[in-house]
Each structure stands twice: as structure tokens, then as C-alpha cells.
Amino acid sequence: MKDKIDHTDPAKDVKTERGHGGETHQRASDEGKVLTTQQGVAISDNQNSLKSSERGPTLLEDFVLREKITHFDHERIPERVVHARGSAAHGYFELTESLEEYTTAKILTETGKQTPLFTRFSTVAGNKGSKDTPRDVRGFAVKIYTEEGNWDIVGNNMPIFFIQDAMKFPDFVHAVKPEPDRGFPQAASAHDTLWDFVSLAPETMHNLIWLMSDRALPRSFGMMEGFGIHTFRLINAEGKSTFVRFHWKPVLGVQSLTWDEAVKISGADPDYNRRDLFEKINNGDYPEWEFGVQLFTEEEAAEFPFDHLDATKLIPEEMVPVRTVGKMVLNRNPDNFFAETEQVAFCLSHVPPGIDFSNDPLLQGRLFSYLDTQLKRLGSPNFVQIPINAPKCPFANNQQDGHMQMQVPKTRVLYDPQSLDPARPSESDKKGFKSFPEKLDDGVKGRIRAEGFADHYSQPRMFYRSQSATEQSHIASAFAFELGKVDTPYIRTRMLGHLLNIDEELANRVANALGMELPEPAEAAAPVLDMATSKAVQTIGISPKTLKGRVVGMLIAKGSKHSEIKKFEDAINKQGGTVKIVAPSKEVELDDGTRVQADERLAGGPSVLFDAVVSIIMPDQAKKLAEASAALDWFNDAYAHCKAIAYCGATDEFILSKLPIEKDEFVTPLAELDSFVENAKSRLWEREPKVRDLA
């Protein structure tokens, strides 16, 4: 044990310079090591890509950016560097309201038609063999096979990202991945390198506080929002541009796990979300999302108290409402996991005519990076010929040869312009993709960041203050847990300085949980604003009361009453819920001689896998189960996770009486069936302070 805790922060001894956008540059001293390219060329700025002007597009000539991201894209063979653990399904997109006023893209103008798509959900940090339920951002990528070419909406379940410029993406991922000298922790952010990086990069604070919220622990993929993150453009027939952000809103509503549940589920069923998606589709309970857009003009954007080209900023729905214009339904599981889920290749550059890009510097870098990644991961520029990636509309080009070439062009010419083969395709001014002719500011080319990117704390403050009291407790507890895993004292101190800029109460709660004193607030590059709160960013506050998509665990044993089981099953199924049978053995004989097969043995079916629990057992079986730790944990965990519990007389007499379970309004006897069904649609969060310590 150390006698003295050293809070000295070596970063304070490094000379720093603050750029236009408030980002901090660490500069080496004359004696220190200088960062270079692979060719030994010294790098002057490792935070910002080269742009034509302060808010202009990123330039292709930026060899530092291209070298850095190219090397990063090629770090894994063949597994994805990020988003490696994924699950996916086929489905369709249907437009319900035309956006013809804003775009020429047929997928957004022709209503009523069902267009096939493939959607992949993923975690970010873990490898392909990791678990489904870590605290992590979730990927939410949709490939729509439109008649004008594939459209890939490559987003996440959070509306913002950690960094503002693609130049910093390799650094962020290296920081959150297992530490290179030891190879752990896997699929976890609770370690020194991640918190060292984010505490030195204030722009990460907004996505970081989302990561500490319940949004990082989705109950299922079908209960997860999706966001395109960046600002895009819609271009209409007159060539007019309207800015747009894309949203997927689950019909089942946003619902999440608690941290304790997520930890226990990862041991009981590391495939929890993947299994849930597969089973829901197999059972005909098709996950569905509303597709919405936030539309705004250049003039409206100029009035925002933030820069819409900054990927660390969301546009509050109270400021620009989300307009629902379509829906997505997932109705078919992949035929082969590798051929489809693993080989699907998403690229942000895949857009049909009528949709265009903004100058968001993170988006600009991703437009290069995603294609480069696929070339390495799938081994060939012909990855588009893999069936899951191939367009379903006619397509033709003059590309030839290459590894795994499957097409056999029957022509003499594969170039353009040409006159030898009139049947060959050629460009089309009328139908072709056209970039918006944006007038760029007269600026100076350089590694710069817009002044509007400098505010790193106002939106995290808005997010935290928008949460319910329960959600705020979860966020504070998550920070305390994660920072409690950080062994370097000055990193913890540095983070508390950032939290003070977000919310003083939050900082105090975390500091108290860590047993630390609060430091001075971190230096803010721009004034911190008190923005209006937004209910739309809550989780618990906007979760609907419903049994749809929820699973009720029913504990039975030898001699359990078949009629009682059937009564509960019918009531739950009628409300759209699913019942899974849990028993001490795989097969059970009921009171009327009926033999049933349990979905889970009690030893492998803990209550963390269910949204509510019912116990229907006879006295002799209850006596036996009262001596089994798995049975006691089954009820204890359900109670600790604020779930509804319905119990029979034998359960009450022999099991519940031995446990510290208070019979509140969510713990009811079997006779109160209607109350249980209603309770099972949500959780009793008021119970939580009684069952666990929260920061």
C-alpha cells in the first residue's frame, strides 16, 4: 500500500497551446521526442486535419491524416478494428411522407414502397468474441438497397461522437482498446488509458456523459435509438440544399438495463442482445423503428448556440423537431452469419443522388476511412460483389480485374470516353450524383478548427440536467465506478475538474464516492451555457409502459398447477409479452400429468435475463428451493433490479420469508394477476435506493 497518493499531473508540465476551436495541443520541448510520420517527417499538429478554411472541407492532400487513418484501418485482419461484435437482420424501409420539396432521392420521395435493407448492430470496443452487454456505444448501421444505388446510414445509438476531427479517431480507439502492454481490459472503458485520453480532450465530455448514462446499456437492439450523428445535405430538383440529421426511433421505446444486470447477464448469457434479436424475428415479433429527420436551413443553423458541423453536438428536438417520414421493420434473420453479418461493408460515401455531405471534419475523414477499411478487411476492391454488399438495382462501371473479380465484362472497352461499343454505360448529367456547389468562405488553408467547436461543456450540462433523478444517480455511479478503476490519481483529479464544468452536484457526488477533494474547474475554452433541458435525451423518462418486447420468467417445478401457469401465460401474451419457463430440471411434470420442457434450468436462467418474474411452485418444491442459492439469488436479483414479482403461497412461506424483500406494490400474490401484468410493463425505480448504494 502506498503511504502517499501523488496527484501531480505531468500533463501540466507539457507546454500547451489552445487552437481556434479550443482544442489543446501538446507540444514537445526542444529536448523531447517529436511526433513524426512513418517517413520521419515531424508533425506540427496531430489534432486537426488540413482544411481549405476554418469551416471548409478536408483536403485530400493531407498526407498525415491519410497515413494515420490508413494504418489504423489496417490494424486488424480480418476482424473489424471497431464494431467487431455485431448482430444483424434483413428487413425493409417504407417511406410514409414524401420529402420531394427537399430532395430528389427516390427513397425519400416515393411513398408506400417497401425497399429491402440490412441492419447491423454492434458494440464498439470489444472484439468479435466479447460480450453483448458492456458499457459501450452501440453501432447502428443500415444499408438500404435503393433503386438508385445503396444508401448506407452508418450511425450509433447516441447522437454525438467523442471527437470533432477524424485525425483523433485512431488515438481515441487506441485509448479505449485493451492496453497494448497487457492486452486487457477487453470491451471496457474503466481503465487508465481511456480516462487519460478523454481527460486531456475536453471535446469528449458530451459523448462521455452519454456513455455513463443508461443509453450505454440497451435492454435490446429493438429498444435502441439510432442516429446518423453528422449533418448531411438534401438536394432538391432546383439544386437547393437543406441540412438534415437522420434518426431511428424504436416503436417499443428506449429501454435499458441497470449496470448490475449488465454485469450478471454478461456471465449468464454473453449473447443476450444477439439472442433476443434472433428470437424476436423467429417468433414474428419484428423490431420496428420510425425514421425521422431534423431539417434546417443554413440561416437557421447560424442561429444555433453551437456549430452543427461539430459531431460532438446534438440538435435538441425542442429546437428542431424530428419529423417522422418513414419506418424500418426487421423481419428476416441472416441465412449465414459470416456471409452476411460479417461480410457486410458499410461506407458513409454510399449515398444516392439527392443526398450530399457537409463539411463536418469527422464526417470528411470517415468518407475516406470506411472505404479504406473495407479494402483491407475484405481483401479486394471487389468487396461490393459479395451478395450482401451488391446493389439490387442495375449497376455498371469500367472497373476491372483485382482479387476475387466475379464479373465477366463482355466488351472490348473498359474506359470512358469511348466510341467502339455504343452499348457501354456512360455518365448522365440528368441522373448522376451531383455535389452541392457550396460557396466556401475566403479562408486560409491550415490545420484549424472552427471557433464554434470550442464549447465542450454546455451540451453535457444540458444532458445531465435533463435526466430524471434516477438517471442522474446512474450517471454519477457510473463515473464513480469507472474512475474507481483508474489507478493514476492525477487522471481522476483531472476528470473531476471537467465534471465541475458540467454540473457541480455531479462532481461532488463522484468526488464523495471516490473519497477525493474537488480540484479547481478545468479551463473552459468558451463560456459554458445553461441550455434548455430536453426530455428527448432521457431514457427512463421516455420509456413506455408496455409488455411488448419484454420477457417474463416463470419459475415452476414438479407438481406446479398447469391452470395457473396457463392463466399467466395467456395474460402476458395478450399484452404482447413473452413467457420463458424456468425450472430446476429441463423437463417438468405438472399437477395434471402434463410434461413441459423448460426454456432454462434454474442454474442457467437467472432472473437478470427477464423483465419480471412469476413463481408457481408447490410447498414440497419450495422447501427444496429454499436451500438452493440459485433460487434465492433468482428472487433477490429480481427485487434488487426493481422488477415486478408475482408469488404463490409456498414461495412466500418458504423462500421470500427468508429474504430481505419488502412487499411493496411491485411484489404481489398470484391472485393479483392484473396488478402484476401492469407492473411488469416497467420498473419500480423508487425501490432502488433501498437495495443499492448510488453515488
Contact of 191 with 117, CB cutoff 8 Å: no
| Catalytic entry in 83, 206, 308, 498 | 83
Judged by DSSP in three states, 356 sits in strand
Number of residues written out for the chain:
695
Q: Alpha-carbon distance 227 to 71, whole Å? A: 27
Amino acid occupying residue 630 = A
| Catalytic entry in 150, 156, 273, 679 | 156
Q: Alpha-carbon distance 381 to 104, whole Å? A: 29
CA atoms within 13 A of residue 695's CA, in its CB half-sphere = 25
Place of cell 441472416: 334
Strands (E), 258-350: 288-296, 323-332
Q: Alpha-carbon distance 86 to 585, whole Å? A: 33
- Nearest Cα to Cα of residue 662 among 636, 680, 685: 636
Cβ-based neighbours of 2, under 8 Å, separated by 6 or more:
none
Strands 551-556 and 232-235: unpaired
Beta bridge partners of 227: 156, 247
Contact of 296 with 232, CB cutoff 8 Å: no
Contact of 108 with 325, CB cutoff 8 Å: yes
Annotated active-site residue 508? The verdict is no
Q: Alpha-carbon distance 188 to 174, whole Å? A: 12
Number of Cβ within 10 Å of residue 504's Cβ equals: 12
Q: Alpha-carbon distance 300 to 320, whole Å? A: 10
- Nearest Cα to Cα of residue 82 among 370, 383, 384, 478: 370
Measured between alpha carbons, how far is residue 674 from residues 137, 558, 570, 617 in Å? 37, 26, 12, 20
Contact of 142 with 117, CB cutoff 8 Å: yes
Per DSSP, 443 falls in state -
Angle between helices 192-199 and 169-176 (to 10 degrees): 150
Number of Cβ within 10 Å of residue 189's Cβ equals: 24
All three cell numbers of 376, joined, read 483491407
- Nearest Cα to Cα of residue 578 among 326, 240, 220, 98: 220
Amino acid occupying residue 471 = E
Annotated active-site residue 83? The verdict is yes
Contact of 14 with 26, CB cutoff 8 Å: yes
Amino acid occupying residue 154 = V
Contact of 133 with 260, CB cutoff 8 Å: no
Beta bridge partners of 291: 248, 326
Cβ-based neighbours of 572, under 8 Å, separated by 6 or more:
547, 552, 578, 579, 677, 680
Per DSSP, 238 falls in state T
All three cell numbers of 584, joined, read 430446476
Catalytic residue set? 83, 156
